[in-house]
Chains A and B, each alone.
Chain A
Amino acid sequence: MKRKHNNIKAGLSLVFAFLLTVLLVILFISFGLGIGVFNSRSIIKSINKTNYYDKVYVDISQRTEELLLQAGLPSTLLSDIITAGRVHADGMNYIKEATSKKHQAYTTDNRLSKNQAYTTDNRLSKNQPVITDNTLSQPQNTLYNDIKANILEHIEQIGIRQSSDLSKEITEVTDAIEYEYKSKIQMRFIEYLMSYKSEYGRLMIVMVPSLILLISVLCYMLIRVHRIIYRGIRYIVYALLASSLMTLAASLYLLLTKSYNKLMLAQDYYYQFMSEYIRLNIIVFTYIGMMGLIVAMALITLIGLMRNKIMNINN
């Protein structure tokens, strides 16, 4: 009879421990997303580590040179206007704005004007995409004005007379260069991510307290099922060990197989940023798994102390 009773207690405890494991895994994932994926610091860290905007500057410079050459202008005409420092400052400003709490989540499509597409042979189409200028470090028309002023100065220096056709072409080249600059500074991935972050935030407001409540209830039930407290805590430790080991094993597997290197992304600098960003987030989950193991070890130590105390009392 006593054996049957003990078996029932053990079975029930195992069921509760299993449910607790599920809840802990969900909790770990939720924390990992909040600390890692949706954390702006991991984005900024990845950008800095991969020198993202330095490479963007190289890309912008090359494209600007192409556009200038196509227009019959010297390729180095704007080298003092579009500098690495300016690109970096504007880029970091953009990231700061995009990840700020006040930022209204939006996709690029919402911000584009009509007929936003353009062909590669003619970068300008009617109504080019409008990119938010409030993220730039300087007033919004400064870049445009600087580019145009430089081109006009050069034309004046070489003694070409301005005509309406020439003005139109200058405007087209300036528009194209400005568009290239802004589109490369912008990283819509962050905008998409922030829109999901707001949904994540709304979900977590409900989910985290519910998880904590359910976990607390299960822990209480496990302790109550057993006459001696440490025996109940043991099952909590089993659940914690299982969830932590799963989290740790999954993240270590992803890290060791370098799954983040298998992305299919076009620009090299963007690929490097994404790889680094994903790698950092996997490391966050690794740390969460390790923290779970540390807490489990602490509880095991506590169990040992409690048991020894009971044994000393009995003796």
Chain B
Amino acid sequence: MLMNRDIKDAIRYIQISFLLIILLIPVLYVAGAPLVSYLVSKGRMIMIAGAPGYPHEYNPELSDIDIISSSIADISKIDKPEQGTQYGSIYCERIGLSVALYFGDDAISLQKGAGQYPLSGLPGRGRPILISGHDITFFAPLELITEGDIINIVTEYGSFDYELVGTLITDASDTTAYKLTLNREQLILYTCYPFGKLIGDRDGRIFFYCDPVTSD
């Protein structure tokens, strides 16, 4: 009889413990998922950004490139980088922005740094350059940027400075926020808005428009 009671007790311990676990899981998921996602993103960012040499060191795999030159005249001969490769770095000293620049704005590239929309132009090529990044990780410093700040993009083939001239807050669905058919160079950085929002819809976007200052 003692044994039966012990067995009953053991079963009850297991049953009620598992009942509590089953009740806890959805609560943790609903309440904890945004926070966990935020922490995982932050953790991933500090792992990547904390690597030795980030964001300066990279092995650019520019297809068909055989020029390492800072001459603007040679830039026209540079072909596009391979999708998903880091081909440069973006800096803005005043706000502490220092991030690797990848060709392609897929999820994996954005986990490692900033991603350039492949159909936009390359720095120095005289076309709009559209670059995105996550607001809670690599593009978080953009929350502090103001007009007049200089953003520097360093690539294998040269260094290019851009000055912030304007911003726009709009929806993700607003395709009028940028025009890739323009015949002049403009750096357009964009990210989710408001910055750091964990819960609720993430449809807001903020665009930063930067005009060229100097290029090497």
Contacts and interface: CB of A to CB of B under 8 A. Distances in A.
Interface of A: 14, 17-18, 21-22, 25, 56, 107-110, 112, 114-121, 125, 183-184, 186-193, 196, 237-239, 241-242, 245-246, 263-267, 270, 274, 300
B6 to A, nearest CB: 8
Interface string B53-69: 11011101000000010
A110 B112 CA distance: 20
Interface of B: 13, 16-21, 23-24, 27-28, 42, 46-54, 56-58, 60, 68, 70, 89, 91, 93, 96-98, 108, 111-112, 141, 152, 154-159
A25 B28 contact: yes
A118 B129 CA distance: 21
A264 B108 contact: yes
27 contacts: A21-B20, A21-B21, A22-B24, A108-B98, A109-B96, A112-B93, A117-B152, A119-B154, A119-B159, A120-B58, A121-B156, A186-B52, A188-B50, A188-B52, A189-B46, A191-B50, A192-B50, A237-B13, A238-B17, A245-B17, A246-B21, A246-B24, A263-B47, A264-B48, A264-B112, A266-B54, A270-B52
A270 B49 contact: no
Which of A17, A22, A109, A237 has the largest count of B CB atoms less than 10 A from its CB?
A109
Nearest to A189: B50
Given A21-B21, A117-B154, 4 more contacts: A183-B53, A242-B18, A265-B51, A266-B57
Contacts of A190: 50
Contact of A110 (B50, B96, B108, B159): B96
Instruction: State the majority secondary structure of interface residues on A.
Output: helix
Contact of B89 (A21, A107, A117, A267): A117
A264 B51 CA distance: 11
B62 to A, nearest CB: 12
Given A109-B98, A238-B17, A270-B52, A121 B68 contact: yes
